Every structure is written in C-alpha cells, then in structure tokens.
Amino acid sequence: MNEHIVKIDTNNLHEIYEFDKVAKQANGAVMYRQGKAVLIAAVAVDDKAVDEDFLPLTVQYMERAYAATKIPGGFVKRETKPGDFEILTARIIDRSLRPLFPEGFGYPVVISIMVVSSDSDVDMQVAALHAANAALYVSDLPFTQSVSAVRIGKIGGELVLNPTLSEQEESTLDLYVAGSGRDVLMIEMRSIASEVVDDVEPGIVDPMMPTLPVVLDHQECNELSAAEMIEAIALAVESIEQATLTYGAEFDPYKKEPVELALKEDPHDSALYGYIKENFHQEVVNAVRSMAKSERSTQLSLLRGRIAEAYGEVDGEALKKTLEAYKKSVVRTMILDEQVRADGRGLEDVRPISIETSFLPSVHGSCLFTRGETQALVTVTLGDSKDAQSYELITSKQSQYERFMVHYNFLGFSVGEAKFAGAPGRRELGHGNLARRALEPALDMDYDGTIRIVSEILESNGSSSMATVCGGALALRSANIGMVKLVAGVAMGLVSEGGRAAVLTDIMGLEDHDGDMDFKITGTYDGITALQMDIKLGGIELDLLSKALEQAGRAKKHILDIMYEAQENIMPSPALPSTEVFSINPAKIADIIGKSGATIREIIEKFDVTIDIDRDKGGVKVVGHNDEKVKAAKEHIQGIASTPIKTQMVYELGKVYEGRVKKIVDFGVFVEMPDGFDALLHISKVSKERIASLESLYSEGDMISVVVMEQKGKKVGLATPEFLGL
C-alpha cells in the first residue's frame, strides 16, 4: 500500500493525514487522525453539470456508533437518520467550503465525513472540517485554496485557542471561525452564562420591568462587546492564516491532476442586457422600489412581458436570467451610489416593528413579532425535567438531556408558495439552533424544568431567525420565565464592489439574495450573546467585520427599546401552571415518598399535581393547574415533613418490652415498639408448641409483651416470654 502520511502540529492540534490509503475510487480522500479520533473524508463529483444556476454541493457528516463502542438504541440496531449534531456539523462544513468553489461550477459534489473512532477530548467540528478540506484539496477538482477552523474559548478571562472538550466546559465563550489565509469565511459564536463569584447582596438585575420574575445578580450572560469580539476573531484569523499556509505546503505533493470541468458562462445575454439597460432602466428601478415583495415580483413579471414584446424573438429562460442579472446590478448600484435601498430605507434603518404578547389564551407564553414583511408567531411551553430531549454524543458515554429547546418552522405560505409542510430541513434546524444559542445565556440557570419554544414563520422577507429571537425573548417573559435581560437580534448584509463597500442593517430577502454577506447578531444592551456569519465573497476582512458589529449594536439597541416598551404590557397567560417551590429536611424525603412510592402517588392523585423532589437538597417543586390544590398539596407535604424524626432506641437484649401488634403475616407478627419502629416476632419464636394460626393468638392492635433477642441496625428480632420460659 502506497499511502503517504503527513503530520502537522499547529494551533494546539496534533493531526495526522493519511493519503492514498482509503477510498481510492473517490475524487479525493483522506484518513484523518487526532488523538484517538479517526475520520474518513471522501469527495465524489458527478461529471454532468446541472442546468440550474446554483452550486449543487452536499455535505454529510456521519457518526458511527461503533466509533464509541456503542450499539445503536431503539428497535432498529443500526444508524438511521442523522442526529441534530451531525446535521449542524454538516452545515458548518458546507458554509465554510461553499465560498471557495469557482464561479460557474455546476457539477454535483458530495463530501462525506465519517467518524470511525471517537475521542472524548477531540472537537469533532474542527476535525471534520479539516478532514473535508484535505480531501477536497488533494482531489482532482479545481482547488488551490485551503481552509482551516479554530475554536476560541475564554477561561478565567483569557482567550484560549482550540480548548479541549473538557476545557470548553469551563469556558464563557464558544467561538468557531473558519477561513482561508486572512479571509474569514464563516463564524458561529455564543456566550455561556455563569454564576458570579463575588458574594453580593441579591438585587433586581432588570430594572426595566420589576413586576416580572427576573434572575438575581448571581448570574452573568457573559456577553461580548464589539471590541472583545474583534479581538477574539483577530486571534482566530492569525491562527487560521498560519494553518492554511501549512496545509497548502504539506498537501501540495499529494494533489491529483485536475480534471477538465467546464465552468458555466454568465447566463445572461449581453446584447439583451444592453437593450434592457438602454430602454427599460427606469422601469426596472421602479419595479425594484415596489415596496412589497409580492408587488416587486409582479412588476418584474409584467416587465418581462413588455421587454419580450419590444425586443422580438427571445428565449424565455434567457430573458428571465438576464433581467435578474440587471435587477441585481440596479439594487447594488442604488446602495453603493445613492445609499438607498430597494424599499427606500437608509443603510442603517430598521423596518417598522409591531409586537403583541400573551394573545393565545391556552398557551403558556406567546408573542406575535412583526418586522416589515417578516412575521413570527413564537410560543413557549413549560414542562418538568422528565420532558427534556435526550440525545447521544459520540464523544460521551452518557446520554445528554436538552432542557431548553427552540424549534423553528418555515411554512410555505410565508413566501406565497403552495408547499406541503414536511419534516424540518437543515435550514430550519440551523435557525432554531441559532435562536437557542442566542437566548440561553439570559435564561435563569436555576430553572429546573424544561422549556420548549416554537417559532412559526407566518411571513418571510428576511431575518426570520432574528424575529424568532426577539419573539422568543418576549414569549419567555409572557410565560413568567426568569431572565437576566431581554435579547434581540438583527441580520446585517454587505454589498462590496470595486473597492467600495456598504453595510446594511436589517436586510430583507432581496438584499440577502443580491448581497455578499448574511451576518446575524444577537444580544442584550450590554453585548453579543450569539453570532452567525456566512460570506458569499472569497472572505471578509476585520475592518468590515468591525464596522458591521458596531452598526448592528446601534440597531440592536433600537429594537430592544421597542421590546422593553412592549414588555410593560405583558399579562401572564391564564394557562400558566401554578407552582410552589420550597425546601424540607432531606431526612423526611422517604416519608413523603412512602413505601414503594405509595404516599407520593396518593398526594399526586388527591391534589392533581406533579411533584419533583431533590433528594440531596430537600427541594420540592409542586406544579398544577389549580392554585388552591397546589397550595393544599404544599401544606400536606410540609405537614408530613414537620412530624418529629423518629430515633430508634438501642434495646437491652433479654429485656421485656410492651409492643402493639401492627400486622400479622404468615411468617410472623410485626410489632410496633415503644419508639414507634417496627420489629419482627417470627412465628418460630412465639411458642415451642406448633401453632396452627397466629390469628388465633393475636389481633391487630393488641398490646403484647416481647423480649428483644437481637438488634442489627434497624433490624430487631423478638421472642415471647413464653417461648423463653419466663
């Protein structure tokens, strides 16, 4: 076997790449090793280009159960559909590699990354991208750029490059950056809440709305300012530049001879393009400036008919693509030359916002958030710890539980499409994950139940994931969930051409489609809680990122002002359950549960409540839909807990005691001793004569004399004086 081994130590990673060893019929492949983790990445390309004007790239990241010495759970003992982590990792790889494909590349490409051996301390998302990058770089596809990813953590106030998974548990920052050279291609970031170390007096954190539950000042969101964000990204860029230079130099000797793949030419007709520019420029401008998305689409459709009639014989598809190309040019020129956008807004203007909260009477929390032509119906449902979503990670032997879920649904009618609502796709999963990461740092860390947020997108013209964040924060308030601060989100865009660049605030669908960047930023008044960036250019430099962050900060403050104003009108939903949380002596937990759970089942049935108990701390949480029954259940439990704790006597062996017959069974009699504890009088210790039936001698409640024969802890053995001849 003529495999070639490359060892690379960079950015605190010790990586081994083995080429020409596996998957030799693929266009490019590699076996990647880091620690005990082994991944196989392979690239396959179809030599027949698609007709559609898009890059047909598919990335699949697959974790095999055997890699962690597991057998898949469930009825079918094999891997089936990918889990959320696998889908999100595939999205990260796709978003990192897609900008590097040459313009006009239309051949279907599938990049497969398979984890065949796991390591509980290896960051699989970094490893997977590096494996995919190596397979793509040495393939016979036209690639000359290499990419790299780094994860930045913040531990003890210091930035840490590529922390291990165990170190990440101590971090207050999770920043994942992918790039090539000094160009940033993709960013994902979230802050991680923590408890304040300082011993301070409790106080209200959120002075804007003191009537609603808030978290006391023992918790921090750990938001990042724009300057701190740029500092962290700058560290990532320096590290990525070093890594990509190393990868390019080390992988070059193993690169296959490129195959001849013709790139698609510019789809629009240059002559027709010139004709439209000369004769229909103002009509295109008027169509672009049509305020509503639906009106704009109608105007362009009508305009195509007039151009076809005036121009003469023309292919319908060519006309559509040419008009689309000219429309894109008009949109970008308006922004760069006139600083005006298609809907008439300035570059930093946020679309009008309206908010309605707590309007669904049978829902725990609800908010209808509308921004321009984007509308999200966001709901909150509260459950107990048993409602948490369980999931598996290849890097952990233990099952994990997600107690805060955000589910995003993009409905076809939101963009005027007659489309069946099927299972959520990768985009829906990604948007829900972004909203969860944005809101989670502001949630009460001590909340011990399960929270599910669902965002139904009813209308969409850009920034629907950010509407989910804003609506989600207010829906949580509507559900009486304690939060440190409100969180808002805004999507930023970029138009860059000929050395000029314009950053756009609160982009709509047209600007996302015709622009060069989609940059989503969420946070509080004090900083950024989550961030996601995708770039359509070859990359973006730090100065533009800094400008986008500062501009987003101003927009975020504007949106939060409106959200805090709306919060003042929140009335808690009548559907909210009544909850009582209190503590009892942990030693009394067994009395509340009862023998085989009989006592707690009786309380649950009698008062129609659910009960959660912390055995170690003595914490009790009672939840029900009837306030009076919940309070009565609390009083009942406290009554049980208030009875004195019994202390068992140390009995004198051979001494006669008076006890009460508590229960008669086939093998003997349970006797309640003077201290209230039960002891066993075995049938063999009642009489030296054979006894036909114990019931003929005793009845429950009888007081009898017994002699203590032995005592081992709580186990006490008895005999009768008659048996002993006393």
Kindly state the percentage of the chain with pLDDT values over 70.
94
Instruction: Give pLDDT, residue 201.
Output: 41
Q: Which two tokens stand for residue 630?
A: 């919940």
Q: Which two tokens stand for residue 422?
A: 């099927």
Mean pLDDT is lowest, of 172-181, 282-291, 624-633, for 282-291
Per-residue pLDDT band at 291 (split at 50, 70, 90): low
Distance CA 223, CA 549 (A): 13
Element (DSSP H or E) covering residue 607? helix 598-607
Q: Which two tokens stand for residue 219?
A: 């918790």
Q: Looking at 80-166, which runs of residues are DSSP E strands?
A: 109-117, 148-155, 158-161
Of residues 647 and 492, more confidently modeled: 492
Distance CA 56, CA 356 (A): 41
Q: What is the CATH number of domain 656-724?
A: 2.40.50.140
Do the Cβ atoms of 445 and 193 come closer than 8 Å? yes
Instruction: Give pLDDT, residue 210.
Output: 39
Is residue 213's pLDDT more than 70? no
- The SS3 assignment for 325 reads helix
Instruction: Give pLDDT, residue 200.
Output: 39
Instruction: Give pLDDT, residue 220.
Output: 87
Is residue 65's pLDDT more than 80? yes
Rounded to an integer, the average pLDDT of 492-511 is: 89
Per-residue pLDDT band at 567 (split at 50, 70, 90): very high
Arithmetic mean of pLDDT over the chain: 88
Distance CA 687, CA 708 (A): 15
Instruction: Give pLDDT, residue 218.
Output: 57
- Give the architecture-level CATH label for domain 578-642: 2-Layer Sandwich (3.30)
Identical fold for domains 270-338 and 578-642, yes or no, is no
Is residue 205's pLDDT more than 50? no
Q: Which two tokens stand for residue 79?
A: 């891997």
Distance CA 521, CA 563 (A): 16
270-338, which class in CATH?
mainly alpha
Instruction: Give pLDDT, residue 677.
Output: 82
Do the Cβ atoms of 159 and 153 come closer than 8 Å? yes
Residue-wise pLDDT tens digits, 346-375: 999 999 999 999 999 999 999 999 999 999
Q: Is 597 exposed, middle or buried (0-12, 13-18, 19+ CB in 10 A)?
A: exposed
Is residue 107's pLDDT more than 70? yes
Residue-wise pLDDT tens digits, 124-138: 999 999 999 999 999
Question: In terms of pTM, does the model score above 0.75?
Answer: yes
Is residue 41's pLDDT more than 70? yes
Instruction: Give pLDDT, residue 269.
Output: 76
Q: How many residues does the chain have?
A: 726
* The domain made up of 353-567 is a member of CATH 2.70.150.10: no
Break the chain into its structural domains and give their ranges: 4-158+174-191+216-254, 270-338, 353-567, 578-642, 656-724
Instruction: Give pLDDT, residue 214.
Output: 44
Instruction: Name the packing angle between helices 464-478 and 426-439 (round to 10°).
Output: 50
Of residues 460 and 614, more confidently modeled: 460
Distance CA 170, CA 41 (A): 31
Residue-wise pLDDT tens digits, 576-635: 888 888 888 888 888 888 877 888 999 999 999 988 888 888 888 888 888 889 999 999
Is residue 217's pLDDT more than 70? no
Do the Cβ atoms of 531 and 228 come closer than 8 Å? no
Q: Is 65 exposed, middle or buried (0-12, 13-18, 19+ CB in 10 A)?
A: middle
Instruction: Give pLDDT, residue 209.
Output: 41
Residue-wise pLDDT tens digits, 421-455: 888 888 999 999 999 999 999 998 878 889 999 99
Is residue 726's pLDDT more than 70? yes
Instruction: Give pLDDT, residue 395.
Output: 78
Buried/exposed 456-480: b ≥16 CB within 10 Å, e otherwise: bbbbbbbbbbbbbbbbbbbbbbbbb
Instruction: Give pLDDT, residue 534.
Output: 87
Q: What is the CATH number of domain 4-158+174-191+216-254?
A: 3.30.230.70
Instruction: Give pLDDT, residue 413.
Output: 87
Ordered DSSP codes for 454-466? EEEEEE-SS-HHH
Element (DSSP H or E) covering residue 304? helix 293-311
Residue-wise pLDDT tens digits, 395-431: 777 778 889 999 999 988 887 788 888 888 889 999 9
Element (DSSP H or E) covering residue 642? helix 627-642
- The SS3 assignment for 187 reads strand
Instruction: Give pLDDT, residue 589.
Output: 87
Q: Which two tokens stand for residue 292?
A: 């509503």
Instruction: Give pLDDT, residue 134.
Output: 97
Highest-pLDDT range among 40-44, 259-263, 291-295, 576-580:
40-44
Residue-wise pLDDT tens digits, 669-713: 999 988 878 889 999 898 888 887 888 889 999 999 999 999 887
Mean pLDDT is lowest, of 283-287, 298-302, 449-453, for 298-302
Of residues 309 and 239, more confidently modeled: 239
